Amino acid sequence: MTATPLSVDGDRLWADILSTARIGAYGETGMNRLALSASDGEVRGWFEAECRALGCTVEVDAIGNMFAILPGTEPGLAAIAVGSHLDTQPAGGRFDGILGVLAGVEILRVLHASGERLRHPFTVINWTNEEGSRFSPAMMGSGVFCGVHDIETIYARADKEGVTVGEALEAIGYRGPHAPGHLPMAAYLELHIEQGPVLEADGSAVGVLSGVQGLRWLDVRIRGTEAHAGAFPMNLREDALVSAAKVVLATQAVALNHPPGVATVGYIHAGPNSRNVVPGEVRLEIDMRHPEEEGLAAMETKLTAEIGRLVPGAEVSVVWRKAPVAFDAALRGAIRQEAEGLSLSAIDMVSGAGHDAAHVAGKVPTAMIFIPSREGLSHNEREYSSPQQCADGANLLLRSVLRADQLS
């Protein structure tokens, strides 16, 4: 590579964001581009044609992951890859996932215009069904690529209308010939919006991710005694909602006592849920995350003990445990240096949300870059990052790709 300071064209990137956002748009800024829908097929077609025009071959694997590959100058090297996803939530926005793929396309445009090439093949990846809104699980394509999910099991997953993943892939023509995990990668970098308020609150331009938080999902079932709200004296009650309220506050307290952990009771159902009946049963669903396994395990132990103390007889079950993911130290260091070179204020942070990069990190040296989300919004038609913020992120991604090209 040359030392010429390559730079993305922020206006061109913004134009790509706005023009492709028409595919699956609703309202002013809303996006409904569910995985493997017709609009997903359409944006995939745009991506494929655009990358081919920029000198790439485009490979599609069995789960529909798309790999736009620009050959490198040295034969036999594994790819330096960037990517994210072009599918959205049913009421999503224009940046979540999309930015990471379109920034990759913009890097292709820069390389194409300049005639520069990496030593390694440079690959832009569109992972299938990151959102998991139509077909579960989320991060499906990267999970299949990395061997986390069996392809036949995933083919059989159906949406609410009974259409399977295999059928939906066929329908849009993206059930490809390549076996899952076919592409050797030397490094994987993902640019994404933060989906939280930290960068905006902090006034930082970018976040350099140390990893993805580990996760515990707990289900809590509390049984009380359903009773007449007028006729049952307070001292004879077993009010399941009063017990549940204590669990909600204990969940918050456990997170506050284990920084930087977070814990949320996002779901509550009370039965019979009638104003003048003392609730006889409550179910809660808890989400707990922490960047370190020890912290997460401590949160789980503490909360389980607290629930047992506060609500004897409550049934607590852990329905999902996911270990934290640590990103590659060398790539993170390179990103930080490049941010400094670009005069972008950067902070280290950990991702609270899952990303395709979390799967990929199990196979390939991986890192992630965040740019700010206005008001921390995502999965929301009001989700927004400014043209400058997108350009800053894409520029940092470009510089990091060039650095990664030298690391191996």
Is 231 in contact with 277 (CB distance < 8 Å)? no
Binding of a copy of itself by 231 (CB under 8 A): yes
Look at the block and give the residue holding tokens 């920084």.
259
The reply on whether position 255 binds a copy of itself by CB under 8 A is yes
229 or 305: whose CB is closer to a copy of itself?
229
Which positions from 362 through 401 interact with a copy of itself, judged by CB under 8 A? 376, 378-379
- Torsion, CA 367, CA 142, CA 199, CA 94, rounded to 10: 130
Task: Indicate if the alpha-carbon torsion angle 42, 43, 44, 50 is positive or negative.
Answer: positive
Q: Which of 242, 310, 323, 326 binds a copy of itself (CB under 8 A)?
A: 242
Distance CA 66, CA 83 (A): 10
Residue pair 25/140 in contact (Cβ under 8 Å)? The answer is: no
Which residue's CB is nearer to a copy of itself, number 160 or number 228? 228
Residue from 18, 49, 256, 329 touching a copy of itself (CB under 8 A): that is 256
**Smallest separation (angstroms) from a copy of itself to the CB of 383:** 11
Nearest to 215 by CA among 267, 264, 284, 248: 264
Spell out where 99-213 has E strands: 122-126, 185-193, 206-212
Q: Which of 5, 115, 162, 276 binds a copy of itself (CB under 8 A)?
A: 276
Instruction: Give ∠ CA 348-352-358 in degrees, rounded to 5.
Output: 85
CB atoms within 10 A of CB 320: 10
CA angle 101, 104, 108 (to 5 degrees): 140
Structure letter (DSSP) for residue 209: E
Does 351 sit near a copy of itself (CB under 8 A)? Answer: yes
Q: Which residues contact 330 (CB under 8 A, 6 or more apart)?
A: 365, 407
Strands (E), 272-340: 277-278, 281-290, 315-322, 325-326
- Is residue 267 involved in binding a copy of itself (CB under 8 A)? yes
The token pair that represents 160 in the structure block: 């609410």
- For a copy of itself, give the closer residue by CB, 160 or 343: 160
Q: Which is nearer to a copy of itself, 246 or 302 (CB)?
A: 246
Q: Least separation, in Å, of the C-beta of 119 and a copy of itself?
A: 35
Does position 215 bind a copy of itself by CB under 8 A? yes
- Distance between CA atoms of 66 and 85, rounded to whole angstroms? 10
User: Does residue 323 belong to the site contacting a copy of itself (CB under 8 A)?
Assistant: no
Nearer to a copy of itself, 199 or 404 (CB): 199
The reply on whether position 198 binds a copy of itself by CB under 8 A is: yes
Tell me if 197 contacts a copy of itself by CB under 8 A: yes
Helices (H), strands (E): how many in the chain?
Answer: 12, 17
- Choosing from 32, 252, 304, 337, the residue that interacts with a copy of itself (CB under 8 A) is 252
What type of residue sits at position 153? T
- Helix or strand holding residue 80 (H, E): strand 79-84
Instruction: Kindly determine how many residues on this chain lie close enough to bind a copy of itself according to the rule CB under 8 A.
Output: 59
Q: Is 324 in the site for a copy of itself (CB under 8 A)?
A: no
Please say whether the dihedral angle defined by the alpha carbons of residues 386, 387, 388 and 392, taken in this order, is positive or negative: positive
Confirm or reject binding of residue 1 to a copy of itself (CB under 8 A).
no
Q: Is 264 in the site for a copy of itself (CB under 8 A)?
A: yes
Strand partners, 262: 289
Query: Which of 151, 164, 171, 217: binder of a copy of itself (CB under 8 A)?
Result: 217
**230 part of the interface to a copy of itself, by CB under 8 A:** yes
Give the count of beta carbons closer than 10 Å to the beta carbon of residue 49.
11
Stretch that binds a copy of itself, among 30-38, 114-122, 259-267, 398-406 (CB under 8 A): 259-267
260 near a copy of itself (CB under 8 A) = yes
Residue whose CB is less far from a copy of itself, 39 or 351: 351
| 84 three-state secondary structure | strand
CB of 2 to a copy of itself, least distance (A): 38
Does 347 participate in binding a copy of itself (rule CB under 8 A)? no
Nearest distance from residue 88's CB to a copy of itself, in Å? 15
Q: Should residue 229 be labelled a site residue for a copy of itself when binding is judged by CB under 8 A?
A: yes
Q: Which residues bind a copy of itself (CB under 8 A)?
A: 194-198, 201, 213, 215, 217, 227-234, 236, 239, 241-242, 244-246, 248-249, 252, 255-256, 259-270, 273-279, 285-287, 289, 351-354, 376, 378-379
